[in-house]
Structure 1
Amino acid sequence: MNVIESQPYKLLIGECWREGGEGRTFDTLNPATAQVLAQVHEATEEDVDAAVLAAHEAYQKHWSKTNPAQRGRLLRRLAELFERDREKIAWIETLNVGKPITHSLESLKAMPSSLAYFAGIIPAVRGETIPVASHDVLNYTLREPLGVCALIMPWNYPMTLTVNKLAPALAAGNTVILKPSEVTPLSTMALARLFEEAGFPPGVVNVVNGPGATVGERLVTHPLVSRVSFTGGTVTGARILASTASDVKRVTLELGGKSPLIVFDDAALDKAVAVAAGDLIKNSGQVCIACTRLLVQETVRDEFLGRLQTRLEAVRVGSPEDPATDMGPLVSATQKQRVEEYIRIAENEGARPVQYGAVEGAAAAGFFVRPTLLLDSAADMRSAQEEIFGPVQSVISFRDESQALHLANQSRYGLAAVLFTRDGGRALRMARGIQSGSVAINTGVRTSFDAPFGGYKQSGIGKERGLEAIYENTQLKNVKYDMSE
């Protein structure tokens, strides 16, 4: 299937697909081969200004005045077109991100439903009447859109996270500027092609490509941008928060994670092993909510590790285009170097790295790293504290429930946590005590478009997905009307 469009890919600003103002382009690679996959036009600051102005004018002239039924109809039409092109977009993600095609197809299966969900809940975004003390005053609230929203995506799940940000922003009545990661921009560009066909007015959705240092920085500091939603690293998120402070923009940040998977001695071990292995190999471990700290009770440590190691030995690492592949490459040479450096750091700290699985085919040119367990890890090691973002897990033992909770919270992150136990009281105590935005009991963390998602501590600010995502994209107005004569 030929899914790569004519090149270089252009910017979408208002009603025009156009080249970057200075004619510069950048390469995006196929991480399985390290070969150039496509060229993309790079936006200048002037291009960003033009995109923001187009979005602002579209908001002022018509989009903020549309009613829920109109916005819902357009989002449902977009969902239909996405379903039609889902296989094509999945192949683009496989080629550009390096995910196995089976994973890409599965991860995009829910996207049409996500778009339809946000179309359906628009009428639920409403104010309320408040019975204030004075009987002569009618007090009510209105939920109103914010205006122009800058949506800045990461490279690991470009399409899923674009839809998660885009759908509630549009549903609430905002216009948007999409800035895909310059590492993996191609699936977002394919989605952008569908907006005109779906009937969205020009300027409601705009796309600018380029590095965060120029394109991203101009977006987050532009005076006409009312809201910034960013998914990515904690360091960059903190920088964005500082950049938006001067004009007090609304900011949603979905940042890093170092999630624990806690296995008690009464756990269903095979289920726990399946979650641990899945988090290690899924998207080559490049998943913010992946459980990268395995906290295992001492009494079942050896049995758990034996089952997990057997599972990992069977992992096939190779071409993401092969349906038999379990795990593809990392996204870039930079990411591969980062992961390998952390493995060296862990070994120097006293951990024992062990790699598993078999690399299938000629993978030497690509950015492949085999699944890796850091055995004999300690909780205070850098490798157990810092986000590696690759197929690497630290294995740490604990004695009892109290120590398990302490170790789970011994992190500056708080995105997600998983625990396995048959003891209901213990499960509820742990769920209450763990400092994270999501807790899964006897199952893995599975995000859903209709349930809120977001982190504690340095894992972020605000919520995405579910009705909470709509609220993140609105502002609340209180109105008091004196009815006395």
Structure 2
Amino acid sequence: MSLPRTNHWIQGRDTAPESGDYLPTLDPMNRQPWAQIAAGDEADVRAAVTAADDAFRSWRRVGPTQRANILWKLGDLIGEHAEELADLESRDAGKVIREVLTQQNMLSTWYHYYASLAYQLDGRQIPHDKASLLAVTVREPYGVIGVIPAFNSPMLLGSLSLAPAIAAGNTVVVKPPEVNSQSLHLLAKLATEAGLPDGVLNVVHGYGAVAGDALVGDPRVRKVFFTGGADSARLVTARAAQGLKQCVLELGGKSANIFFQDVDLDRAVDGVVTGIFAAAGQTCIAGSRLLVHESIADELVHRVAARARTIRLGDPRDPRTEMGPMSQAKIYDGVVSRVAKAVEQGAAVEAGGLDRLSDQGGWFFPPTVLSGITNDMDVAQNELFGPVLSVIRFGDEDEAVAIANDTPFGLAAGVWTDDFRRAHRVARNLDAGTIWVNTYRSLHPATPFGGIKDSGHGRENGLDGFAEFTQPKAIWFESDENAISDPFSLR
């Protein structure tokens, strides 16, 4: 039986790959192909960038009202097609339907917010000592923006870049993750239905080393927004540097979820589970390091381990499932090897672990709790991108902050305490782009998001993120006809 095929979306229509080649996309539930996607190469990327470059010449001059109306309509369409979009991402990546459906419904509102940003391209007038001089700034779009989102939430992560890029007057070429491409292809179709002109949003599928490399390397792509791992980001930025182009990077994390001795333990268990086992740990903001005060450590670990053992694994499209399979063999194998190494280094398995691996046929890894972890162990320093919690004890506030900051990453962190003063001190002293106090995994389109250190640079969301999609142009006006008295002197 032939598998359904997904082509590129270039110049507002389905476009077959130049080579005629397609890649299989696997169902994580059974590790078998369920569809095929176009295997994009340099020729396909060149066609997409050409379409975007041509469209930019007119799109940049379209007024904010028309751009806002299109994005608002697109948000409505995402809401109308939320179940279809969620089903595609759930099947492609193994994420539970309850999470991806929430994301799609949430994105409807997010696109409405991005639509409002079309009116936020404010310049300013700069005071000058000479009354006859007027200096103003205007904000100009870059041109063609390259967007490469991560596989775990391509609709959400891709939209964080492509929606504000379009709102600001840029055009976009997206290279979706090869293991989770279907939803962004449908998004491009919906954008056309919403009235987006042909060529403003293009989607080219394929491998990162081929299609992604060609996109980053094309000289007409003026800025790149990449979400993924630090190793891949080094390749992307090196390639972009050849063209002297900027990158905004949202990379991995090894986030500390810190629990002080005054927390309510019942709430604390939910906070731990939310941080690490939601999305099977396949999220850049996973609270994969549980830092817990030694006075409550035994009880909290006991309760978290007991909860982990009850998490319902199964078909991610079943609404009763709490955790689905891992997305792909590479991630699964990495989690297996790193948990094995942690046990060799002295970690104790409180729940899950290699002895509890499933024989269901898919890439299922059980919710795992490891105690006896010190922060110098590999499992505490490397991002696993799986449902593995590393428990680290601390004695006081200074030690907690020191452990939390002792990592190459700096994306997010959680602080749980009923002491407001402590919460304030700790939040200010943590090296991370986002700090949650008494909550975790909360996101909003108006709140900037991004990391420091090996977790990337630049910001998405909010006015801080929107500024990444335009650059200021200074314009000087002189009203004094006799202003230039000495043409050889700087004024």
Alignment of 1:268-347 (within 5 A): 268-347=264-343
Q: Paired residue for 1:36?
A: 33
Per-residue Cα deviation, 1:107-142 (whole angstroms, up to 9, x for no partner)? 222101111101112212210111133322111111
- Whether the aligned pair in 1 keeps the contact of 2:274 and 2:441 (CA below 8 Å) is no
- Whether the aligned pair in 2 keeps the contact of 1:418 and 1:445 (CA below 8 Å) is no
Gaps of 5+ in 1: none
- Whether the aligned pair in 2 keeps the contact of 1:153 and 1:231 (CA below 8 Å) is yes
Q: Paired residue for 1:46?
A: 43
Asked if 1:169 is matched to 2:165, the reply is yes
- Whether the aligned pair in 1 keeps the contact of 2:41 and 2:214 (CA below 8 Å) is no
Instruction: Tell me the CA shift for residue 363 of structure 1.
Output: 5.8
Q: Secondary structure at the match of 2:199?
A: coil
Q: Secondary structure at the match of 1:289?
A: coil
Asked if 1:420 is matched to 2:433, the reply is no
Asked if 1:395 is matched to 2:391, the reply is yes
Asked if 1:209 is matched to 2:193, the reply is no
Per-residue Cα deviation, 1:26-52 (whole angstroms, up to 9, x for no partner)? 000110121211011111211111110
Q: Paired residue for 1:482?
A: 478
The count of corresponding residues between Structure 1 and Structure 2 is 478
Q: Paired residue for 2:90?
A: 94
Asked if 1:7 is matched to 2:10, the reply is no
- The whole-number CA distance in structure 1 between the counterparts of 2:460 and 2:266 is 31
Q: Secondary structure at the match of 1:242?
A: helix
Q: Secondary structure at the match of 1:291?
A: coil
Segment of structure 1 superposing worse, 274-283 or 217-226: 274-283
State which of 108, 111, 116 in structure 2 corresponds to 1:115. Answer: 111
Instruction: Please tell me the residue identity of whatever aligns with 1:23.
Output: G
Instruction: Please tell me the residue identity of whatever aligns with 1:306.
Output: H
State which of 432, 436, 445 in structure 2 corresponds to 1:436. Answer: 432
Instruction: Please tell me the residue identity of whatever aligns with 1:19.
Output: A
Instruction: Please tell me the residue identity of whatever aligns with 2:289.
Output: R
- Whether the aligned pair in 2 keeps the contact of 1:181 and 1:211 (CA below 8 Å) is yes
Instruction: Please tell me the residue identity of whatever aligns with 1:439.
Output: I
Instruction: Please tell me the residue identity of whatever aligns with 1:430.
Output: V
- Whether the aligned pair in 2 keeps the contact of 1:354 and 1:374 (CA below 8 Å) is yes
Instruction: Please tell me the residue identity of whatever aligns with 1:255.
Output: L
Instruction: Tell me the CA shift for residue 6 of structure 1.
Output: 7.8
Alignment of 1:248-287 (within 5 A): 248-287=244-283
Asked if 1:59 is matched to 2:50, the reply is no
Q: Paired residue for 1:376?
A: 372
- The whole-number CA distance in structure 2 between the counterparts of 1:477 and 1:25 is 43
State which of 12, 23, 39 in structure 1 corresponds to 2:20. Answer: 23
Q: Secondary structure at the match of 1:479?
A: strand
Per-residue Cα deviation, 1:433-480 (whole angstroms, up to 9, x for no partner)? 100000011111312111100001110110011122221000111122
Instruction: Tell me the CA shift for residue 483 of structure 1.
Output: 2.2
Instruction: Tell me the CA shift for residue 197 of structure 1.
Output: 1.1
Segment of structure 1 superposing worse, 233-242 or 126-135: 126-135
- Whether the aligned pair in 2 keeps the contact of 1:271 and 1:442 (CA below 8 Å) is no
State which of 123, 127, 132 in structure 2 corresponds to 1:131. Answer: 127
RMSD: 1.7
* Percent identical: 39
Per-residue Cα deviation, 1:269-327 (whole angstroms, up to 9, x for no partner)? 22222121122221110000010000111111112112212222221111112211110
**Runs in 1 of length 4+ with deviation above 4 angstroms?**
none
Q: Paired residue for 1:366?
A: 362
Asked if 1:241 is matched to 2:226, the reply is no
Gaps of 5+ in 2: 482-491
Instruction: Tell me the CA shift for residue 408 of structure 1.
Output: 0.6
- The whole-number CA distance in structure 2 between the counterparts of 1:427 and 1:81 is 41
- The whole-number CA distance in structure 2 between the counterparts of 1:131 and 1:479 is 13
- Whether the aligned pair in 1 keeps the contact of 2:3 and 2:36 (CA below 8 Å) is no
Q: TM-score, normalised by structure 1?
A: 0.96
Q: Paired residue for 2:79?
A: 83
- The whole-number CA distance in structure 1 between the counterparts of 2:13 and 2:420 is 58
- The whole-number CA distance in structure 2 between the counterparts of 1:235 and 1:70 is 40
Instruction: Please tell me the residue identity of whatever aligns with 1:213.
Output: A
Q: Secondary structure at the match of 1:311?
A: helix
Q: Paired residue for 1:463?
A: 459
Instruction: Please tell me the residue identity of whatever aligns with 1:446.
Output: S
Q: Secondary structure at the match of 2:295?
A: helix
- Whether the aligned pair in 1 keeps the contact of 2:22 and 2:39 (CA below 8 Å) is yes
Alignment of 1:193-232 (within 5 A): 193-232=189-228
Q: TM-score, normalised by structure 2?
A: 0.95
Per-residue Cα deviation, 1:46-84 (whole angstroms, up to 9, x for no partner)? 111111011000001x10110100100111111111111
- The whole-number CA distance in structure 1 between the counterparts of 2:416 and 2:46 is 50
Segment of structure 1 superposing worse, 395-404 or 439-448: 439-448
Cα distance change, pair 6–356 in 1 and its aligned pair in 2 (3 A)? closer
- The whole-number CA distance in structure 2 between the counterparts of 1:15 and 1:326 is 38
